[in-house]
Structures are given as structure tokens and as C-alpha cells.
Amino acid sequence: MRLVMCALLLCISLLGCASFQKYPQIEPPVARTVALMPFSSVVKGPMGQQAANWVAQKLIINGYTVIDSSFTTTVASQDKFYDYGLNDEVRSALLAKNLTTLVFGSVNAFSCTPVLYSPDTNRCTVSVTAKMVEVATGRLLWELILSDSAEGKGLTAYDLMKPLILANISASRPQPSASEETGDTGKQQESTK
């Protein structure tokens, strides 16, 4: 009887160890591939694209495969997307290229004003929103809303925005849940302010 119990315990312990083995050659699930749209911006110039690049950088670090916005905008017009949203035309174009998850956002505030009676000192305000949606259904998978303002000598809005995006995306770690990988329709949303 003791021999049978020892053999049984040995088998159970060996089975438990086998379940934790990792297979690095296996590709990440499709839910880990996201198409990136350039972010809209309240200011002229490349700030929307720069914010999108910072978001993409952190998604890649978190294990996502990011389809660059230069490809995404050839599939679906950026203007049509931001004017009409994820309508049937945009949805069909993205799904035709097997782009099932979309990341987009906007730079809502990006400005600095000089502080009176303080030479070279600025008060800067920035705000950015990023969202990840399932293309087929429009279901929100993840959302990040960030805003900050600060005052400093020689401070620029750019100096304020970059660390804000990079730090907060690391903190919220957008990751598909197990239900997303199996197709469950449960909602996952994270917000950070």
C-alpha cells in the first residue's frame, strides 16, 4: 500500500511540473496582434503620431505585435475613421486584411504658457486618450485616459507627455484576458488618471 501511495504521489508531482513547461516557439494568440491608427491631435504637426508611437512602444514591451499605422492607414483612411468611427466600410477594410484589434486615440491637450514674473518658466498641460477595440464588434478591450499639468523652468509639453504615457501604460499593462483569447464577450477596461 505504501509503495502504491508513493508511486501515486510521484506521478501527481511529475504531472504538475509538466503543466508549467513553456514552449517559446508558439506564436502569441491573434488577440495579441493590434493595428495602430495615428492619434488625432488638437495641435498641428506630428504630436498625434508621436503619442501613437509611444503607446506602440509600450504595447510591444508588453508582448503585443503592433501593425504600424503606415500600413493601417493604407487599409482604412485615417480621415474616414476619425470622422465616422468604426463604421461598416472601415470595419470591412480592416477585417479583409485580418486586422481584428485596433488601437487608436487622441491628444486632447498639448500646450504651455509662460508663468508671469518667472523667466523661462512654463506651465504645461497635456492630455491623451488611447483605446483598444475589437474590430468585428466594436467592443472596448482597454482604455487609458491620462492628463497632467506641471510648472517648470524650460518645461515643454513634449517633456511632460512622454513620461506620462510611458509610465502609465506600464502601470495599467493592457493585456488580453483569457476570455478574449477564447472569444468570450466579457468586458475588460482599465483606466488610469
Q: How far is 54 from 38, CA to CA, in rounded Å?
A: 11
DSSP string, 108-169: EEEEEEEPTTSTTEEEEEEEEEEEEEETTT--EEEEEEEEEEEEEET--HHHHHHHHHHHHH
What are the sequence ranges of the domains in the chain? 29-174
- Per-residue pLDDT of 15-71, as tens digits, reads 444 433 333 333 334 457 899 998 999 988 888 889 999 899 888 888 889 998 888
Look over the chain and give the mean of its residue pLDDT values, rounded to a whole number.
Answer: 76
CATH classification for the domain delimited by 29-174, as one of 3.50.50.60, 3.20.20.70, 3.40.50.2300, 3.40.50.10610: 3.40.50.10610
2 band by pLDDT with thresholds 50, 70 and 90: low
The pTM of the full predicted model, rounded to 2 decimals, is 0.68
108 band by pLDDT with thresholds 50, 70 and 90: very high
